[in-house]
Amino acid sequence: MNALPARKTITDPATMTDEDITRVAVLMPAYNPGDSINRAVESLVGNTYPCDIYIVDDGSDVPVAQILDDFPRTEIIRLHQNMGVVKARNVGLAAILKRPYEFVACLDADDVSYPDRIARQVEFLDSHPDIAAVGAWAKHVAKNDGRFLFIERTPESPGLVRQALNYNSAINHTTFMVRTDVLKVVGFYSERYPTAEDYELFRRITQRFPIANIPSVLVDRHLSWKGLSLTRRRRQLWDRLRIQLRYFTALEASSWSGVLKTLLIFFIPVSLLMKIKEYKYPR
């Protein structure tokens, strides 16, 4: 593993006002999000640790600015047309990295951060200067009726995260927080994998730096399995397979079994996959 870039010297937060503390920027791409984006932004504004929120409106039919309530510390970047989530994320990152933030957190426009989410992740990265990024557990709920589905308990230690990445993403992207200095080293999301850009970024980071997860639920993630078309699901699996082969290590057994698992999942119906997840992550 490479050494992380030197940390910046930050003024003691105790001597700063809320308006001065801008260590964290939150990246939120949005395409036709509906009113759920207000719930997502409100959850960030209500966090115990202040953050600036960058919403990239990916050419929504109704501009996000017309839907979003009046929230502080929020900036909307509107793209003139729908460019896809990878392009939207990278446009947002480019804007964020022009300013002196230390951390970038992610949240999808459908999801909800817990009140202490930002504070706990900042505290974790401050107390673990060797860790490049951190995720957390997520509670999955049904988007249509709010029904509790399961809790995704991602592996905690960097070693387990790196091993689990041979199979699939070991970080729930909507819980992700990364150091801006790390992004300056490894780069942004790759447009070569439009349905698995987060997974590829995690693999790329762990080639050089460790990633961990906080073993606590810090985000509610809203899922719509019916909205996942067969065509898109197969594209996701294809992108995942390409990424696994790109980072394949012949001497690691988990590299071989990860590729095999992805090939098998091509033949598993979404409904059965959902039941497997509920069994794997019991309530």
- Structure token pair of residue 84: 């896809």
pLDDT given for residue 282 in this prediction? 60
| HSE of 126, CA atoms in CB hemisphere, 13 A | 12
Closest alpha carbon to 104 in 198, 177, 210: 177
> In the chain, which ranges are continuous DSSP H helix?
36-45, 64-67, 85-96, 117-127, 158-164, 180-186, 197-206, 230-246, 253-265, 270-280
Q: CA 214, CA 211: separation in Å to the nearest integer?
A: 10
Is the pTM higher than 0.75? The answer reads yes
At which residue do the structure tokens 């497997």 appear? 276
13-225 belongs to CATH 3.90.550.10? yes
Sign for the pseudo-dihedral over CA of 161, 166, 172, 176: positive
> Can you give the pLDDT at residue 126?
98
Domain-wise residue ranges, the chain: 13-225
pLDDT at 182: 98
Q: Which residues have CB under 8 Å from 204's CB, separation 6+? A: 186, 187, 190
Residue among 76, 246, 105, 79 nearest 183 (CA)? 105
Per run of 10 residues, the mean pLDDT along the chain (length 283 residues) is 45 44 92 96 97 98 96 96 97 97 97 98 98 97 86 96 95 98 98 96 98 98 65 85 95 94 82 63 59
Task: Please tell me the predicted confidence (pLDDT) of residue 9.
Answer: 30
* Chain length of the chain: 283
d(CA 122, CA 131): 11
In this structure, are residues 24 and 103 in contact, taking their beta carbons and an 8 Å threshold?
Answer: yes
Contact at 8 Å (CB) between 221 and 117?
Answer: no
